[in-house]
Amino acid sequence: MSTQVSTDQQPTNQTGKAGYAMEASSSLWRQSVRQLSKNKLAVAGFAFIVFMFLICFIGPIFSPYADGKVNPAMMHKPPSAKHWLGTDLLGRDVLTRLLQAGRISLTVGLASMLLSMTIGTVLGIISGYYRGIVDQIIMRIADLLFTIPGIPILFIMGALMSEWKVPTDYRLYLVMLMLSVIGWPGIARLVRSQMLTLREREYMQAADVLGLRDRRKLFYHLLPNVFPLLIVIATLSIGGAILAESALSFFGLGVMPPTPTWGNMIDAANNVIDFEKRPWLWIPPGMAIFLTVIAINIFGDGLRDVLDPKQNISR
């Protein structure tokens, strides 16, 4: 009789524990959101990021100048009611091209972040969990990439793309790939250090005793505990990718015209006359880069304050 009762109660107890764990996790995220909402700067940064994504991806749809046709009669016209930010060397509307450039720059930042996060997270988890020869190989490759300065490598690769006359459409994807290659080692090292700590926790020892498969331990027990760190890293890395792409395009080594980016729009004002007498050519893209990166960094700092317990302890 008692055996029957204990057997019947066991699934109920397991279900209750699972429900309690899910409720605790949900309440933790709600608490983090509430804490983040108290940081007015972080909320303002997030609002600006959302605004930039919406206006850059939706705004050009409603512009009558989205086709980018050359209009010699409208060359270098100052801002007016018809062209709010003036026109460029080829008579194209600067505001429309600014929004279209934002699409490219934000897409490059987001895509390179996702790729570098994927590579760095997977390699960092494998390195920190298995250790041994696997850890040595991955970390030596990361150290090798760390010894090579990132920006000069990007410039060299951009110069090679120009020398080999890589088509503009392919340059965009190659820039994303280059930014990911120089970005994943730092992510891998951070994830590895976190994994080395988590691997010695009691719940991982219990998982070893239960004989769980490595895949389940990695992706169901370890990865969720690294997730808050990954969110912070991902947010901050977007700003760095946007700056790197803008620098490459400014020097004519990244995405090339006629595909607009914020970097090559600034490069369009590359003489003293345009710099002094036509500020509408370079101030809008410069301010777009500045404000977007600042907003991303402010929001990333707010996330770090909420999700990284080490920061809270140190403060």
pLDDT at 27: 66
Q: Provide the pLDDT for residue 151.
A: 80
Residue type, 242: I
| Predicted local confidence at residue 315, as pLDDT | 45
Condensed to tens digits (0 to 9), the pLDDT of residues 205-242 reads: 777 777 778 778 877 778 888 888 888 888 889 998 99
Report the pLDDT value the prediction gives residue 5, as an integer from 0 to 100: 43
User: Cα-flanking dihedrals φ and ψ of residue 93, to 5°?
Assistant: -70, 125
Q: How far apart are CA 222 and CA 220, in angstroms?
A: 6
What does the CA dihedral 265, 269, 275, 279 come to, rounded to 10 degrees? -40
Query: Per CATH, the architecture of 85-314 is what?
Result: Orthogonal Bundle (1.10)
The Cα 243–Cα 285 span in angstroms is 12
- In this structure, is the dihedral angle defined by the CA atoms of residues 287, 289, 292 and 297, taken in order, positive or negative? negative
Enumerate the domain spans of the chain: 85-314
pTM score above 0.85: no
Phi-psi category of 104—alpha, beta or left, where left has phi over 0 and alpha has psi -120 to 50? alpha
Low-confidence ranges of the chain (pLDDT < 70): 1-29, 308-315
